[in-house]
DNA sequence: CGGCGAGGTTAACACGATTTAACGAAACGG
DNA sequence: CCGTTTCGTTAAATCGTGTTAACCTCGCCG
């Protein structure tokens, strides 16, 4: 069955194709009566415009591409929700791709977005894709970075203040009387980890008493948390930490599980603070204190920033928004 | 800056545009030496083909669209991973949309996929979109249903055997000596829930002794689990269940949390079985027994099925694949 | 030496919607 | 009554690639 086209609609409505196009894209230019006739014809034929043709002629694709770092991590799906919130209002489709932290997947999606001549792209980069992003921009696709910043600062970005996050978590542990704090997470070449760790160290130092140890992991999932906890439990009792600061909630949940299974009381023996405040943090057997990252807000902010750049790529300044995290205290640090 | 086109590449390589097109799409038709010259020109200019033009001319969009029911549910992100696994190998981009169980979002994505003339669509429908799907198919877009089946059976589908899932979970609870089993989940008009509940009832009946109560919830998240558990705890001790079968792991985690906080011992006082075996099930403080759904396999199967239909829409029969779930026993049912 | 076939290349058109410039008709004022 | 403006409509050109049928150039064989 042949699919209805503009000229079919035009024929049925008794006007020319150009008028149909005007009706769809510039309704003000068409008289109300013909507008109604055209709409009726569209409904009758079930006409749906061919977006490829529209795109080719218009030279622009209204869709926004997003490369998510890890779709299995609730933090990033929350970010995506925030982006959707904004784009839906603008009637712009969101094309989401999952790089799963693999550079070749990331490249794949960038290729796709480049071929599609997208209006804009949001990305949390895995590999070094700066040159790719520059090329995208040169071709007319606006780019905003999410949860990452480049040194050169040539692209707008939205990040969350990790220095503050590390500080408030550590200060909280110190305030409830803990002195031997262990930080679990990694790898340390992630700027997020670096910042959280550094500010945790600074907080301990500023406090005067207490000490901070660091247990680096390769990944940040529950397995890493379990392994890290086991390692700490192997220490002689006097050396054992009385508080653990996990680099994210997945790690914290792993830690919590390992401690529980070994009969260590949380928070009495060991307090735990996580990071991200994913849904599961509050659903844990012992609800987890966590540094809440405004993930959804980050998504909506990034989308808004991107729309601004798209609206006027030349004029708009490069802008870096830093959002503030917030400590959510729950049972795991307040026996 | 003007973007390089086929004719620019052709000019630089000293051939005609048609030859460049042949080099890209039918390399066998072009001599190796000119092929090399063209490739060099492409690299030098950084040429990237305009997919809108390709699509318009070819009348087909290689991308596959997927409408995910709830991107915040790890079960569905696992399904998506399975789909990706297959499509990546075929060099077909996956365009993922999240309906978040809202009909208007679902419609939005279907509109998009229809305008884009996608080759294929995978969907876990929320609302009644059968007529939309039929129209898609009539326009040449193949459709495969994921985790759902229509009564009319006009579309291929992949589902998981919920009857079996309900049975094995219940039999397991009976085997470890539990007799008062409560099923928590809903809404009951979901065929999944209906099947799991019915087969749980059947299993209890077949066993001869024991009873099954049903606590319906409106949604299936941790909050619903917490609320349900509170309700059960309010019962007089003799009426309290000694086992809970939760309709999914999110509910089960909520139940586990509520019980733990109230000092109920799991599994000694109450055993818990969940459903889905999401990552967090094994990471819970008390690792959760759960009916594992082969989510990733479901995704890859659906994708494979879809590719088959796309390859030959006329010849291929409508096919329904039912995958078998598997019971994973952990601490929550094996003190 | 002429005809033939194969492989490689080319020119021209097609895809479906949008835009531009031109056009006709109605409305208006002098 | 005629010239001008306004509004709605139209024919034709355009976007960048893929395909088709024709074409050219060799090399080969009779």
Q: Over pLDDT 70: what percentage of chain B?
A: 100
Question: Which of A51, A100, A285 lies closest to B260 in CB terms?
Answer: A285
CA distance A298 to B316: 46
Residue B151 pLDDT: 80
List, for residues A54-67, the tens digit of each pLDDT value: 999 988 899 999 99
In order, the DSSP letters of B201-230 are HHHHHHHSS-EEEEEE-SS-SHHHHHHHHH
Average pLDDT value for residue range A183-205:
95
Mean pLDDT of chain B: 93
Both tokens of residue B308?
């088959």
| Span of B156-160, B241-245, B294-298, B315-319 with lowest mean pLDDT | B315-319
**Residue A2 confidence (pLDDT) above 80:** no
Q: Over pLDDT 90: what percentage of chain B?
A: 76
Angle at B215 between CA B209 and CA B216, to 5 degrees: 135
Compare all CA atoms of chain B with the CA of A77 and give the residue at the minimum distance.
Answer: B72
Residue A1 pLDDT: 52
B105–A283 C-beta distance less than 8 A:
no
In order, the DSSP letters of B140-199 are T-EEEEES---SS--SEEEEE-HHHHHHHHHHHHHHTT--EEEEEE--TTSHHHHHHHHH
Residue B317 pLDDT: 86
Residue B73 pLDDT: 87
> Which residues between 89 and 108 in chain B have a beta carbon less than 8 angstroms from any beta carbon of chain A?
93-98, 100, 105, 108
| Neighbouring residues of B238: CB distance < 8 A, sequence distance ≥ 6 | none
Report helix angle B32-45 to B6-13, nearest 10. 120
| Span of A81-85, A88-92, B68-72, B149-153 with lowest mean pLDDT | B149-153
Average pLDDT value for residue range B69-82:
92
**Residue A230 confidence (pLDDT) above 80:** yes
Question: Where would I find the beta strands (DSSP E) of chain B?
Answer: 61-68, 94-98, 118-123, 142-146, 156-160, 180-185, 211-216, 243-246, 271-276, 289-292, 320-323, 326-328
Residue B279 pLDDT: 87
Average pLDDT value for residue range A49-58:
93
Give burial (CB, 10 Å; 0-12/13-18/19+) of A104. Answer: exposed
Q: Which residues pair with B142 in a beta bridge?
A: B120
**Residue A32 confidence (pLDDT) above 90:** no
Residue A241 pLDDT: 96
CA distance B331 to B288: 6
CA distance B80 to A98: 10
List, for residues A94-103, the tens digit of each pLDDT value: 999 999 999 9
CA distance A267 to B257: 16
List, for residues B177-217, the tens digit of each pLDDT value: 999 999 999 999 888 999 999 999 999 999 999 999 999 99
Residue A237 pLDDT: 87
At residue B2 the predicted structure's pLDDT band, cuts being 50, 70 and 90, is: confident
Both tokens of residue B258?
């509520």
Q: Are A207 and A180 in contact (CB under 8 A)?
A: no
Q: Name the maximum alpha-carbon separation found in chain B.
A: 89
List, for residues A76-90, the tens digit of each pLDDT value: 999 999 999 999 999
> Which residues between 184 and 203 in chain A have a beta carbon less than 8 angstroms from any beta carbon of chain B?
none
B116 to chain A, closest Cα gap in Å: 5
Q: Which domains does chain B have, with CATH numbers?
A: 6-49 (1.10.260), 61-160+295-323 (3.40.50.2300), 162-293+327-334 (3.40.50.2300)
- Count of beta carbons in the 10 Å neighbourhood of residue B16: 13
> What is the number of alpha carbons within 13 Å of residue A62 lying toward its C-beta?
13
- Count of beta carbons in the 10 Å neighbourhood of residue B295: 25
- Count of beta carbons in the 10 Å neighbourhood of residue A151: 7
Among B147, B143, B248, which residue's Cα sits nearest to residue B191?
B147
CA of B45 to C1' of C1 (A): 48
Average pLDDT value for residue range B161-188:
96
CA distance B76 to B15: 49
Q: Is the CB of B58 under 7 A from strand D?
A: yes
- Count of beta carbons in the 10 Å neighbourhood of residue A25: 11
DSSP helix/strand/coil, A120:
strand
CA distance B144 to B128: 15
Of the two residues B12 and A169, the one the predictor is more confident about is: A169
Compare all CA atoms of chain B with the CA of A131 and give the residue at the minimum distance.
Answer: B46
**Residue A294 confidence (pLDDT) above 60:** yes
Residue B314 pLDDT: 79
Q: Given CB atoms, is B53 within the 8 Å cutoff of chain A?
A: yes
How does strand A156-160 pair with strand A320-323? parallel
| Span of A146-150, A311-315, B204-208 with lowest mean pLDDT | A311-315
**Residue A312 confidence (pLDDT) above 90:** no
List, for residues B217-244, the tens digit of each pLDDT value: 999 989 999 999 999 999 998 899 999 9
Q: What are phi and psi of A118, to 5 degrees?
A: -60, 150
Tell the residue number behind the tokens 């998009």, with chain if given: B112
């Amino acid at each position: 069955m042949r699919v209805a086209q503009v000229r079919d609609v035009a024929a049925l409505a008794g006007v020319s194709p150009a008028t149909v196009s005007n009706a769809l894209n510039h309704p003000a230019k068409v008289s109300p009566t013909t507008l109604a006739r055209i709409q009726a014809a569209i409904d009758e034929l079930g006409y749906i415009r061919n977006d490829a043709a529209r795109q080719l002629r218009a030279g622009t694709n209204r869709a926004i591409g997003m490369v998510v770092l890890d779709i299995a991590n609730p933090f990033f799906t929350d970010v995506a929700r925030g982006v959707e919130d904004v784009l839906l209002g603008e009637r712009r489709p969101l094309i989401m791709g999952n790089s799963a932290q693999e550079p070749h997947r990331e490249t794949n999606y960038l290729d796709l977005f480049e071929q599609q001549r997208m209006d804009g792209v949001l990305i949390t980069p895995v590999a070094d894709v700066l040159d790719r992003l520059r090329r995208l921009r040169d071709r007319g696709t606006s780019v905003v970075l999410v949860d990452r910043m480049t040194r050169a600062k040539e692209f707008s970005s939205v990040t969350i203040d990790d220095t503050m996050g590390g500080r408030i978590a550590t200060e909280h542990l110190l305030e409830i009387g803990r002195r031997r704090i262990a930080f679990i997470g990694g790898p340390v070449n992630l700027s997020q980890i670096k910042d959280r760790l550094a500010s945790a160290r600074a907080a301990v130092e500023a406090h005067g008493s207490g000490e901070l140890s660091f247990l680096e992991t390769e990944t940040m999932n529950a397995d890493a948390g379990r392994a890290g906890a086991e390692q700490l439990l192997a220490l002689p009792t006097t050396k054992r930490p009385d508080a653990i600061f996990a680099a994210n909630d997945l790690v914290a949940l792993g830690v919590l599980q390992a401690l529980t299974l070994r009969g260590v009381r949380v928070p009495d023996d060991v307090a735990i603070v996580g990071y991200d405040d994913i849904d599961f943090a509050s659903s844990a057997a012992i609800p987890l204190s966590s540094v809440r990252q405004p993930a959804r807000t980050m998504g909506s902010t990034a989308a808004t920033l991107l729309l601004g750049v798209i609206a006027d790529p030349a004029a708009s300044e490069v802008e870096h928004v830093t959002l503030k995290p917030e400590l959510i205290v729950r049972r795991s640090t307040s026996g």
